[in-house]
Amino acid sequence: MNSLIIHNDKSPFLEKFEYQIKFSSTNDIDRYITNTIIPKIKKSSIDKIYIKDSLSSNYLELLGLRVAYHIRLSVDLKERYLPIIILSDTTPYILNKITPLAQILFTKNIFIIQNTIKAIEKFSTKALKPLTEEEYKTLFLDRIKISSPKESSHDIANEWAIYKWSELVKAQSQAIENNNNKITSMLYFKYLIAKNPIEKSKAIGYKKAKLNGKVLYIDDEWDKGWSDIFSKYFASTLAFETFEYNFKDANIYTLMSHVKNKIETFKPDLVILDLRLIQNDHLFKNRTDIENFSGIKLTKSIKDINAGIQIISFTATSQSLILEQLYKHKILGYIKKEHPQDSTIKTKDSFEKLANLVDKGLEKKYLKEVWEIQKSILDLNLSNNINIEIKSLFEILDSQIENRYIYSMFAIFKVLEIIIANFTEEKYIHGQRDAYWKDTNNILKATYTNKNDTSENKIRCILDEKLNLKDAITHQHISNITYSTTTRRKDAKIREK
């Protein structure tokens, strides 16, 4: 017989088969089937596969059915389309009551016969054809369902997403290899890969960020392959670093301290930040109050260091209530780690969203400097009116207001007007209006403009004579601000008329 039998004992009819594979039960059944049984099938030249329904001392495990699933779902195995015959001492209906794996018995090209030499000899005369691609999809894949393993949804999403992302960017490392070996050997993930095959064409690309800057990645799963994926993705375009930290048994206060040190030394423009970083975050699977999540607390901490640092949330959650609450904390947006049960997320789309968010964040990296300047001015303890305008400047620039750059210029000009009012006053003497110093009552010199009562001239005089700031660059900035603001005001008045 040009057939293969997979068995676990020395049955008297084994001599009827040209190829034989003896099954030895192990603790890691899926890995054993993938790494030992499947390679042996590849070496055989067969047209039918016979499998004993029970391959261990515990009949109820029905490992023969599990082997049948592995054969069908091993996408790199050409023999997966061959007829599979299950040898059993009972009926498919009884098996179906014992295990959900028995649903495979009701798909095309899967047969069950009595475990006797007579039944085998009779069946061997049947002419059977392999499944076609269409039959494989409609009469097998669409008729079965493999349940997820008993791991946390968070772990499954991470493992699946690492597999999908690393395949697309062609990232390689020992951590990625370990993850992907686990994925490709587990029956559940084989089922997902067969249902959602990854496009192998070289024409399938992914979008990369275009702008320059510094990106920091913070995730408790960084060493599982994510750091290697992002390093490959950002290579040659951005300065990228991973916060390499042992998150096991970490508490939020120690974590915040170490993150603060990393922020102050690396000085990132943008942070990709996981939402759940410590064990306490996973205590309540359905929790929608995100304020106590470590990722949110770190977001607040980073914004306290410098609110101009842009943050992208990276999360495995699929709960829309949680995702929408993230925006309350001034994040740029979020990237969802692909969960195998969410078919709406496409890897290529995730990279496109990531690239868009990174570029959007790097466009706003100037806000870091604005924040530092604002802080240095507020530390001077100037008048409350100045502090109000300075605080509003950052809020305006950090908003989505359409004309925020124009409004920010008005805020700066307002600060200049407050400074002018503190140092000078205007008087009418002999019918002529002039600007005078408040402390000396002397007239301002019209050194820079034709009239000493212009805002530009007043602030230039204050810089020179009161603050001793005589550098040309500062004066040029003042000229640009006053010119731009005056022009905008004139345009506004014209529009009003």
**What tens digit of pLDDT does each residue of 11-70 get?**
677 888 889 999 987 888 999 999 999 999 999 889 999 999 999 888 889 999 999 999
**Is the pLDDT assigned to residue 490 strictly greater than 70?**
no
Assess if residue 284 is contained within a domain: yes
In the DSSP assignment, the letter for residue 79 is G
pLDDT of res. 274:
93
pLDDT band at 107 (very low <50, low <70, confident <90, very high): very high
Residue range 133-141: mean pLDDT, rounded? 95
Domain that holds residue 68: 3-143
Q: State the residue for tokens 């001239």.
A: 457
CATH number at residue 244: 3.40.50.2300
Assess if residue 150 is contained within a domain: no
Q: Rounded to two decimals, what is the model's pTM? A: 0.81
CATH number at residue 23: 3.40.50
205 and 348 in one domain? yes
411 and 280 in one domain? no
Q: Which residue has the higher pLDDT, 324 or 120?
A: 120
Q: Which residue has the higher pLDDT, 26 or 209?
A: 209
Lowest mean pLDDT among 168-172, 255-259, 440-444, 472-476: 472-476
pLDDT of res. 332:
92
Q: In what order do the strands lie in the sheet with 110-114?
A: 19-22, 3-7, 48-52, 84-88, 110-114
Assess if residue 429 is contained within a domain: yes
92 and 57 in one domain? yes
CA distances, 481 to each of 341, 376, 387, 476 (Å)? 55, 20, 19, 9
pLDDT band at 142 (very low <50, low <70, confident <90, very high): very high
389 and 286 in one domain? no
pLDDT of res. 449:
57
pLDDT of res. 198:
66
211 and 316 in one domain? yes
Provide the domain count of the chain: 3
Residue range 434-449: mean pLDDT, rounded? 81
Residue range 207-232: mean pLDDT, rounded? 94
172 and 309 in one domain? yes
129 and 68 in one domain? yes
Integer Cα distance of 480 and 467 in angstroms: 20
129 and 8 in one domain? yes
Assess if residue 372 is contained within a domain: no
Mean pLDDT value across the chain: 87
Which domain-ending residue is among 77, 112, 143?
143
Which domain-ending residue is among 329, 363, 397?
363
For 489, the 3-state DSSP assignment is helix
Q: Which residue has the higher pLDDT, 481 or 36?
A: 36
**Residue 330 structure tokens:** 């001034």
384 and 354 in one domain? no
443 and 393 in one domain? yes
66 and 42 in one domain? yes
Assess if residue 375 is contained within a domain: no
Long-range contacts of 303-307 (CB under 8 A, 24+ apart): 303/329, 303/330, 305/260, 305/263, 305/264, 306/263, 306/368, 306/371, 306/372, 307/367, 307/371, 307/394, 307/398
Lowest mean pLDDT among 199-213, 267-281, 340-354: 199-213
pLDDT band at 203 (very low <50, low <70, confident <90, very high): very low
pLDDT of res. 34:
95
Assess if residue 149 is contained within a domain: no
The 10s digit of each residue's pLDDT in 357-374 is: 999 999 999 999 999 999
